[in-house]
Structure 1
Amino acid sequence: MITRRLLIGALAIAPLAACQTAQQPQSVAAADPYEGWYVGFMPDQPHNVPLVDRRKMDAKYARQTVAYNGPEKPGSIVVDIDERHLYFVQADNTAIRYGVGVGKQGFSWRGTATVGRKGVWPAWSPTKTMVGIKPDLPRHMEAGIDNPLGARALYLHQNGADTLFRIHGTNEPWSIGEQVSSGCVRMLNEDVVDLYERVPVGTMVYVKRNGRYRV
């Protein structure tokens, strides 16, 4: 079993994420919220990816292939904020569907973007806005299990500029299916690794709320 000892520092650092959790659900607000959530590791470099015990999660957020008849082209990413699902559209009227955590009320972003760049075990730095809200935030955090961006990140750009929104991994698996972040889309680390391998830079991303992604 993977415990907090193996995820040292994660509990202390995770709430400082760019897409930070405002409050842990009461069901996991224990002395060690990581207890029982992990069942092993997936080999990766430079860090192994902790694997989540899927029995702890609602089955509707499990990665699966589903029918998909939306207008987006194969190879696109579609995020449905209301459903808490991300779809990777395929060519046979199907999509790979992943459970995600999304922005809390008032922080959710919608629109179209492209994957401007990709990061493996990315470092993290807070935005000026976040530092203004929480002056004690670290100004930089190196990659690792305790980094709030997790194992992979897809950086969303519009018109060649970074939107500061990301699709990224998380070290808070209980937040999948919740409206908890500061706007980014968070995935299980094992799921974001899977998605990362499927999408190149330049991939179209559609983030919709109330059935629309056009503001």
Structure 2
Amino acid sequence: MKRRIFLTGGSAAVLAACAKSEPKPVATLPSPAMQMLPARYGAINDEPFPIPAVPQGVVPPDLWRQEVKNPYPDQSPGTVVVDPDRALLHLIQKDGMALRYGVGVGAAGFAWNGAARMQFKRKWPRWTPPDEMVARRPDLEPYSIANGGMDGGPGNPLGSRALYLFQNGQDTLYRIHGGCEPQYLGQAVSSGCIRLLDQDAIDIYERVPHGAAVVVLPSVWKEGARGIY
């Protein structure tokens, strides 16, 4: 991972993962005729807060959670591999397979890459914007570090679940979390982190153990050439 992730400016950019900006498409996946969403994307009503169903016709099948052939055979089972350019996350399984999830990424995700560990995870996590972000967005002052952050629940940018990534015992401030609005899946809408649909965030939360390896691939995207590899 690049050392600048630990600098104040870089940290603020990454933790601002949760503040959306103008959406930009990331993946250049095919757009087949929409199919009916699987039942796993229905409403969830047994959580502390209700999670609405993903609307039909918004998320293309390529971005649905699904089992696929493992594209990273050099990675051990249990490893999480994130490809920011293709807006995909793979959880490596045994027997040559992987679980693939569609994600939303942030602009900072194109510059951040390397290996980390999933140090801990939280259900309905608290979100605390950094002071630098509050300075730019005074409306976030009620959720500042000094004020204790934002409670988990509807409206919290981290959504239903969050996985916290560390390197060499230090918090990278990089998260894999829920809260991605379906219409922004596969797009860059913020300044960092990896966002999943809440249904998928709950699923991966249950599958990824503490200490799991996480690899964020370097981006090869260049302005005006998105999707060219």
The TM-score range, normalised by the shorter chain, is 0.7 to 0.9
Deviation at 1:198, TM superposition (A): 0.2
- The 1:56–1:203 alpha-carbon spacing in structure 2 relative to 1, beyond 3 Å, is same
Residue number in structure 2 paired with 1:111: 114
Q: Determine the C-alpha separation between the residues in 1 that align with 2:157 and 2:96.
A: 34
Q: How does 1:28-47 map to 2 (within 5 A)?
A: 41-47=43-49
- Of 62, 65, 72, the residue aligned with 2:64 is 62
Q: Determine the C-alpha separation between the residues in 1 that align with 2:120 and 2:89.
A: 18
Q: How does 1:79-118 map to 2 (within 5 A)?
A: 79-104=82-107, 108-118=111-121
Q: How does 1:112-151 map to 2 (within 5 A)?
A: 112-137=115-140, 138-139=143-144, 140-151=149-160
Residue type of the alignment partner of 1:23: E
Higher normalized helix content (fraction of residues)? 2
Does 2:19 match 1:20?
yes
CA contact (8 A) 2:81 2:216 kept: yes
Partner SS, residue 72 of structure 1: coil
Q: Determine the C-alpha separation between the residues in 1 that align with 2:88 and 2:109.
A: 19
TM-score, normalisation: structure 2: 0.73
Which runs of no fewer than 5 residues in structure 1 stay unpaired?
1-15, 26-38
CA contact (8 A) 1:17 1:148 kept: no
Does 2:168 match 1:159?
yes
Q: Which moved more, 1:161-170 or 1:134-143?
A: 134-143
- The 1:105–1:184 alpha-carbon spacing in structure 2 relative to 1, beyond 3 Å, is closer
Deviation at 1:88, TM superposition (A): 0.5
Give the length in aligned residue pairs: 183
Share of identical aligned residues, percent?
A: 46
